[in-house]
Every structure is written in structure tokens, then in C-alpha cells.
Structure 1
Amino acid sequence: MDTSYLDENARLRALLQEQPTTIRKMAEYNRLLSQRVAAYASEINRLKALVAKLQRM
């Protein structure tokens, strides 16, 4: 077998072994981003309520 095929095979095997760790990291990052979005949505709703209150004054 050609050395380049062996190298490519080893590279692909390494990527496959790293995949679960990469997926876990991406899932955690996604969770953190979702929390930030929820916090921003909450802040937007709070500010909308404040604007509505101020407009009634």
C-alpha cells in the first residue's frame, strides 16, 4: 500500500477518534449560546415593558 494512503488512513482515524470530544465541545458551546439568547430575550422583554410604561406617562 502506498505511504500516502497509510498517512491519509491514519489522519482520518485520528479525526474519527477526536469526533466525540469535538461533538461534546460543540454541544456545550451551543448550550451556552442558548443561555445567552434566552438572557437577551428576557432583557428585550423587560425593556419593552419599560418603554410601554414610560409611553403611558
Structure 2
Amino acid sequence: MDTSLAHENARLRALLQTQQDTIRQMAEYSRLLSQRVAVYASEIKRLKALVAK
């Protein structure tokens, strides 16, 4: 393999790894936000029930 092609291959692999790491971090952040939304929804439901009494 040509040296410049090997260098480009390594560069693209590093870029791909960085993007995959970012996607994993975003997925975890999304999961945490979803949990918070569920907690807020539960609290809203509880408060609505109190108001309805």
C-alpha cells in the first residue's frame, strides 16, 4: 500500500473512532435526559392528581 494511502487510511480510522465515541456519548446523554423527562412526567402527574382533589 502506498504510504500516502496508509496515512489517509489511518487518518480516516481515527476520525471514525472519534465520531463513534461522540455518538456513544450522545446516546448516553440522551438516555439520561429521557430518564429525567420520565421523572418530570411522573411528578407532573402526581401534582395534577393533588390539584384534582
TM-score when scaled to structure 1? 0.72
Question: Could you tell me which of 21, 30, 33 is aligned with 2:23?
Answer: 30
- Are positions 1:18 and 2:11 aligned together? yes
Which runs of no fewer than 5 residues in structure 1 stay unpaired?
A: 1-9
* Sequence identity (%): 6
Q: Residue in 2 aligned with 1:5?
A: none
Alignment: residue pair count: 49
**Structural RMSD (CA):** 1.9
Which runs of no fewer than 5 residues in structure 2 stay unpaired?
A: none
- 2:28 is paired with a residue whose SS is helix
TM-score when scaled to structure 2? 0.77
